[in-house]
Amino acid sequence: MNNIRSKFRYRSNILALGLILIGLMVIFTFGTGNVSAAGNTVYVNASGGSDSYNGLSPVHTTGKTGPKATITSGVAAVTANGTLYIANGVYSGTKNVATNKNMNIKGQSKTGTIINGDNINWIFFMVGQKIVISDLTICEGNTNGAAIENNGNLTVNNCLFQNNNATYGGAIKNDINCVLTLNGCTFKDNTATHGGVIYNRGSMTVINSNFFSNSASTDGGAVYNEGKLTVETSKFSNNAANGGSIYNNGNVTVINSTLNGNFANIHGGAIYNVGTFNVVNSSLSGNVANNNGGAIYNEGKLKVTSSILSANNAGTNGGAIFTTGTSYTSDVHFNSIVGNTAVTGNAIYNEGTLDVSNNWWGSNNGPVHGDVFGKTVLSWLVLKLSAVPVSIGNNDHSTVTADLRYNNYGLILLGSSANGMTVKFTTTLGTISQASVVNGTSKSILKSGTKTGTAIISAYLDNQTVQTLVKVKDTISPKINSTNPKNSALGIPKTAVITVKFSEKISAGTNINNIKVKNINTGKYVNISKLISGNIFTIKTATKNKNTWYQVIIPKAAVKDLAGNNLQTSYSFKFKTSR
Residues pairing with 560 in the sheet = 507, 566
User: Which pLDDT score is estimated for 8?
Assistant: 32
Cα separation, 203 vs 176, in Å, equals 8
Show me where the domains of the chain are located. Answer: 243-378, 382-473, 480-577
Indicate the residue type of 30: F
Q: Which residues pair with 155 in a beta bridge?
A: 132, 181
| Strands 353-355 vs 329-333: parallel, antiparallel or unpaired | parallel
pLDDT tens column, 390-408: 999 999 999 999 999 999 9
Helix (H) or strand (E) holding 192: strand 191-194
Give the whole-angstrom CA distance, residue 186 versus residue 168.
19
Residue 526: burial class (beta carbons within 10 Å; 0-12, 13-18, 19+):
middle
Q: Please tell me the predicted confidence (pLDDT) of residue 18.
A: 40
Task: Give CATH for domain 382-473.
Answer: 2.60.40.10
How far apart, in Å, are the Cα atoms of 231 and each of 158, 206, 235, 466, 531?
16, 5, 9, 36, 77
Q: How many CA atoms lie within 13 A of 394 on its CB side?
A: 10
SS (H, E, C) 479-502: CEEEEECCCCEEEECCCCCEEEEE
Report pLDDT for 20: 34
Question: If DSSP codes are grouped into helix, strand and coil, which group holds residue 218?
Answer: strand
Going by DSSP bridges, is the β-strand pair 453-461/464-473 parallel, antiparallel, or unpaired? antiparallel
Distance CA 55, CA 64 (A): 8
Residue 419 has a pLDDT of 85
Domains 382-473 and 480-577 share a fold: yes
Contact 212, 188 (CB under 8 A): yes
How high is the pLDDT of residue 335?
96
Say if residues 435 and 401 touch (Cβ distance below 8 Å): no
pLDDT of amino acid 114: 96
Counting as low any pLDDT under 70, the low residues of the chain are 1-38
User: Residue 543: its pLDDT value, please?
Assistant: 82
pLDDT for 383: 96
Q: Is the dihedral of CA 159, 276, 289, 380 positive or negative?
A: negative
Pick left, alpha or beta for residue 205 (phi over 0 → left; psi -120 to 50 → alpha; otherwise beta).
beta
CATH 2.40.128.20, domain 480-577, yes or no: no
Instruction: Go through 409-431 and write b for each residue having 16 or more CB atoms within 10 A of its CB, e for each that does not.
Output: eeeebeebbbbbbebebebebbe
Residue 122, pLDDT score: 85
Q: How confident is the model at residue 542, as a pLDDT?
A: 85
Q: What is the pLDDT of residue 127?
A: 86
